[in-house]
Structure 1
Amino acid sequence: MRKVELLAPAGDLERLKIAFTYGADAVYIGGEIFGMRSAAKNFTKEDMQEGVNFAHEREKQVFVTVNIIPRNAELEQLQKYLIELEEIGVDAVIVSDPGVFTIVKQTIPNMEIHISTQASTTNSGAANFWYNQGAKRVVMARELSFKEIKELRDNTPADMDIEAFVHGAMCMSYSGKCVISNYTTGRDANRGACAQSCRWKYTLVKEETPGNYEPVIEGIDASFFFNSKDLCMIKYIPEIFESGITSLKIEGRMKTAYYVATTVRAYRMAIDEYYKDPDNWKFNPIWLEELKKGSHRDYSTGFFFDRPDSNAHNYKSASYIRNYDFVGIVKGHEEETGLVIVEQRNRMFVNDKIEIIGPFKETMHATILEMYNEEGEPIKSAPHARQVVKMKLDIEVGKDYILRKPIASITTV
């Protein structure tokens, strides 16, 4: 069976390693320049080198975003940056601008090029154009249905990869081409600095007569009328395979290591189950429940089945749904005592009932029986950010396992 790629976001080196540990086949990252997520930590040259080495040791791949729409002055430093990427050994660059594409071909002609979703590829003619220019992969515009992707697949070379977003935040603007952020804050969405102005609260009215304003959308509170629901396609793995998509992309380079682990783990389980018996694959509700234990908005299927209607937006709130706290990540074990060494991410207490997830493992339940600080002194809680603690659990866990616990009420970002 044709293998599909599970492609994960990585905003920094920790998230890159977590993505691969939990089952990603490749990650996409941004350097300190030319990427579309300037607010993410992103990768220094040294971190990028370490990340690429980590990936290649595991026969995985790293793709680097070079997908902003640059100004003339920025092109002067582009060639030097591209040469650095080639020296580091990245596997591909992701571009959207034809000028950047041309410079990549001239500067590092052997580098694999992927065409970003920002290029709005919606038809086989455009996909074939990029392929004939030398692109290996085209990332579909998010506005395509399964039917349209299948038609594109049937009319493009078989060795051209087709990548599509299957999970994560959706932009209300066509292929991300938005100027609202630039207008409202001076932060350019097409240069990596989007303020997500579409998530803000607005009042949408029309002037019926001078000074007389009426709601445009009747019957609902539409204060967040730009606010798209998140995309989630984990129920539709067979349709993804049948459409000809070769890379399943998860959105979220600014999301946490917990989000990366949770999302990659769920899709890895769903894909692997499909490989076992495609004809009898059944959606397991546990996979969706796992996704919902990460920070998310309400889910939709985007454009995959039809053009979204009003149900694809959440008009009442732009807040994330968060039912679980990521409380810690296992860093190893203390040799003398066997205690688990954990780096804290949210407050936790002795006697807490927690859940633990690990790569390619079922969700486990545990109790924190004892906890000690780095000096070995007993403590009742771990309240300090990134505090390293040693603890005794009632189950065995491995490195990079993640500790989480339910929270009493839904909170927002």
Structure 2
Amino acid sequence: MNTNNNAEAFVPEIMAPAGGRESFLAAMAAGADAVYLGLKHFSARMQANNFSISELARLTHLAHDQGSKVYVAMNTLVKPGDEDAAGRLLDRAARLVHPDALIVQDPAMLLLARQVGFQGELHLSTLANITHPAGLAMAHDMGADRVVIPRELNLDEVRQMTEACPEGLDLEIFVHGALCYSISGRCWWSSYMGGKSGLRGRCVQPCRRLYRHGRDDQGRRAFSCMDLSLDVLTKPLLQMPKVSAWKIEGRKKGPHYVYYTVKAYQLLRDHPKDAQAKKDALSLLEQALGRPGTHSVFLPQRTFTPVQPDKDTGSGLFLGPVRTQNRKPYLKPRQELLPGDLLRVGYEDEAGHRVLPVRKRVPKGGRLDLPGGRGPSATAGMRVFLIDRREPGLMHAMRDQEKRLAGADDADSAGGSSFVPTMPRPVKLSGSRHISLFRTPPKGKVRSETGLWLEDRLVSNLPKPLGRKIWWWLPPVIWPNEEPRWKELVQMALDKGARTLVLNAPWQRALVPDGDVRLLAGPFCNIANAMAVQVLAEQGFSGAFVSPELSGEEFLRLPAESPLPLGMVLKGSWPLGISRVLGQGVKPGETYSSPKGEGCWVKPLGQNYWVYPDWELDLSSESKALERAGYAWLVDMRENWPKKVRAAQRTSKFNWHLKLL
């Protein structure tokens, strides 16, 4: 947090993204208060170039010389066996880079940071999914100094979070950049369709594909979001000192985007009452080469659905369509192109898609022949976008930063790491039980350990002896305006004799009063390693269901390392993702299919929309191996399918035979 005598003593820091050296230098040239970035491993943007320890050590030295902070994102899911490599990398970063903070998702990283003696701040990523106020105190108790709050919160809900924020904890909010269709930390779409996990930083963005609704539909980008742009709506945030950082998304963006967005939000922050400054800021954002912007749901009295299939959701400035002459593609750009500009031809799911550098100046309306490459050539009608550019002013400012970097003392970045993490002591396990999880009570006799999603209509109508048998499951997402209701529902379940609650975010522990009740971490907590289980044990959990994303080898390894009994999802309806918005024109309970024939359907549940694949997860053939490995609970997740959705004639083993990337 910065202070300034001219701005009511509170000035939030503006955080710039950097996916590579050029973007880092652009952030420095723009005067960003902080830069966040990733290393070559354990970063939630593995498709960015990212940084080596030696390179980052020098750049951090440059930033600190200019009064800027550097935050290193190690915000991925940690798999079994990753602990050594993650710990050594964290140890080297702590000793050689000296970042001001680490941004983490996995609880294991909190424990590893303690073990290596990291002295900076610990920030919990939006992927950690802290969505309701009571969870903030628990996050602080676990060692967090800052929480990145979800992009799906509206202004009133942000205010609720600030009011509940304990002393010693700050909040960070996204003000600009790409929106995911699914809530952060609640998306398995890319992983379910091919082993490239968003929780591991390798999302291939299947939500941005074309989806058909019916045989004659040519396809719409039914789940592809526009960008978030709070722009002038940031003014109320200046009255919330707990919101100490404004974050610009875009670690895969180029230096032009970084420079322009930082400059725009500096104007909006430093001159909130100046009409000309607002106009200048909006002009800069229009030139920043992002997607079309939206305030999304930020204004509670005037929400906007950020999924508009009739609008272009391609990133960059539209330059015109591809034309062809004698089968050779070319472009007549709607504005001047400069040497070094980057163009994107088409969308990623189109044949002929590619990214091309501009080699020489092309005047507005001139001709640019589009060279071929591997695979199909661009075809007539494909849309071309300017996604990065190298105007003289920006290049001059970046060269100045290069000179400062060259003249600075070299940072000490030599040496490896001999760090070995202290692993938790594993628990002795015996016996496995199969559990079914229902939305509505099954017909006939309800046996012990039957799972039910907690709802008031269910818990209020069950007799106490039956309520004692049920394992009550909380939802994966609870929003600020829902928190009082869920506290009441938890208490109702306890009054009905509940002895086991399955919490689907660690932070839901704060909704449960102390008492004689067993708390299990559900599979939506994304727990995937023994150190994360240890952190949950310290918070009073008695067991955990592990993330269903793991490979077979990783599943079979984990129980022997875990300090608590473990469960897993054996079969049933596992969602592709959970969203707070419904795309314009999307009809719940009906099938939407990608060009590859991957079907999905949407189900409204509470304030959210669950997206399910039309084929189920099924590891039943591996149940004996999982029982021998030591799993205490194997769950069948039952879902009520809509009448209009026909199940595909196949099932999925998720990543069982894959190595999760």
Cα distance, 1:4–1:310 mapped onto 2, change above 3 Å: closer
The correspondence for 1:320, drawn from 306, 315, 322, is 315
1:182 Cα shift? 1.7
Equivalent AA in structure 2 for residue 305 of structure 1: L
Residue 358 of structure 2 corresponds to which residue in structure 1? Answer: 346
1:93 Cα shift? 0.5
1:176 Cα shift? 4.4
How do residues 270-289 of structure 1 correspond to structure 2 at under 5 angstroms? 270-274=268-272, 284-289=278-283
**Aligned length in residues:** 333
Check conservation: 2:44, 2:199, Cα contact below 8 A: yes
Residue 140 of structure 1 corresponds to which residue in structure 2? Answer: 149
Counterpart Cα distance in 1 of 2:339 and 2:72? 29
Is residue 69 from structure 1 mapped to residue 81 from structure 2 by the alignment?
A: no
1:347 Cα shift? 4.2
Is residue 198 from structure 1 mapped to residue 207 from structure 2 by the alignment?
A: yes
Equivalent AA in structure 1 for residue 90 of structure 2: L
Q: Which moved more, 1:233-242 or 1:29-38?
A: 233-242
Counterpart Cα distance in 2 of 1:14 and 1:242? 34
Is residue 52 from structure 1 mapped to residue 68 from structure 2 by the alignment?
A: no
SS at match of 2:184: helix
Counterpart Cα distance in 2 of 1:222 and 1:312? 18
Q: Which moved more, 1:23-32 or 1:295-304?
A: 295-304
Residue 32 of structure 1 corresponds to which residue in structure 2? Answer: 40
1:243 Cα shift? 3.9
Check conservation: 1:119, 1:141, Cα contact below 8 A: no
Counterpart Cα distance in 2 of 1:175 and 1:46? 31
Report the TM-score when normalising by structure 2. 0.47
Cα distance, 1:103–1:308 mapped onto 2, change above 3 Å: farther
Report the TM-score when normalising by structure 1. 0.73
1:155 Cα shift? 1.9
Deviation sequence 1:142-200 (CA, Å, 0-9, x none): 22111111122112224422101110000000114312212333311110111111111
1:222 Cα shift? 6.7
Residue 257 of structure 1 corresponds to which residue in structure 2? Answer: 255
Residue 286 of structure 2 corresponds to which residue in structure 1? Answer: 292
Residue 92 of structure 1 corresponds to which residue in structure 2? Answer: 101
1:348 Cα shift? 4.3
The correspondence for 2:175, drawn from 133, 143, 166, is 166
Check conservation: 1:149, 1:243, Cα contact below 8 A: no
SS at match of 1:32: coil
Check conservation: 2:28, 2:63, Cα contact below 8 A: yes
Counterpart Cα distance in 2 of 1:326 and 1:260? 19
Check conservation: 1:185, 1:195, Cα contact below 8 A: no
Residue 222 of structure 2 corresponds to which residue in structure 1? Answer: 225
SS at match of 2:193: helix
Counterpart Cα distance in 2 of 1:261 and 1:224? 29
Specify every segment of 5 or more residues in structure 2 that has no aligned partner in the other structure, as ranges: 1-8, 319-334, 341-356, 365-389, 401-661
1:326 Cα shift? 7.2
Residue 268 of structure 1 corresponds to which residue in structure 2? Answer: 266
The correspondence for 1:235, drawn from 229, 232, 235, is 232
Deviation sequence 1:43-94 (CA, Å, 0-9, x none): 0111111111011111111001111011011112111111111112111100
Residue 116 of structure 1 corresponds to which residue in structure 2? Answer: 125
Cα distance, 1:4–1:12 mapped onto 2, change above 3 Å: same
Equivalent AA in structure 1 for residue 148 of structure 2: V
SS at match of 2:338: strand
Deviation sequence 1:87-132 (CA, Å, 0-9, x none): 1211110011112212212222423100000011122221111112
Equivalent AA in structure 1 for residue 134 of structure 2: G
Counterpart Cα distance in 2 of 1:281 and 1:130? 39
1:398 Cα shift? 4.6
Equivalent AA in structure 2 for residue 119 of structure 1: A
Check conservation: 1:143, 1:175, Cα contact below 8 A: no
Is residue 150 from structure 1 mapped to residue 144 from structure 2 by the alignment?
A: no
Residue 111 of structure 2 corresponds to which residue in structure 1? Answer: 102
Specify every segment of 5 or more residues in structure 1 that has no aligned partner in the other structure, as ranges: 206-212, 216-220, 330-344, 354-388, 403-413
Deviation sequence 1:322-379 (CA, Å, 0-9, x none): 15677368xxxxxxxxxxxxxxx634449x69xxxxxxxxxxxxxxxxxxxxxxxxxx
1:34 Cα shift? 0.6
Deviation sequence 1:25-55 (CA, Å, 0-9, x none): 0010100111001111000111111111011
Q: Which moved more, 1:241-250 or 1:305-314?
A: 305-314
Percent of aligned positions that are identical: 28
Equivalent AA in structure 2 for residue 188 of structure 1: S
Counterpart Cα distance in 1 of 2:160 and 2:303? 23
Check conservation: 1:4, 1:247, Cα contact below 8 A: yes
Equivalent AA in structure 1 for residue 338 of structure 2: V
Q: Which moved more, 1:191-200 or 1:14-23?
A: 14-23
Check conservation: 2:297, 2:303, Cα contact below 8 A: no
Check conservation: 1:235, 1:283, Cα contact below 8 A: no
Equivalent AA in structure 1 for residue 260 of structure 2: T
Check conservation: 1:230, 1:298, Cα contact below 8 A: yes
SS at match of 2:82: helix
Is residue 81 from structure 1 mapped to residue 89 from structure 2 by the alignment?
A: yes
Counterpart Cα distance in 2 of 1:141 and 1:311? 16
Cα distance, 1:346–1:168 mapped onto 2, change above 3 Å: same
Cα distance, 1:312–1:270 mapped onto 2, change above 3 Å: same
SS at match of 1:290: helix
Counterpart Cα distance in 2 of 1:270 and 1:10? 21
Counterpart Cα distance in 2 of 1:159 and 1:328? 48
Check conservation: 2:175, 2:246, Cα contact below 8 A: yes
Deviation sequence 1:205-231 (CA, Å, 0-9, x none): 4xxxxxxx698xxxxx97111011100
Equivalent AA in structure 1 for residue 141 of structure 2: N
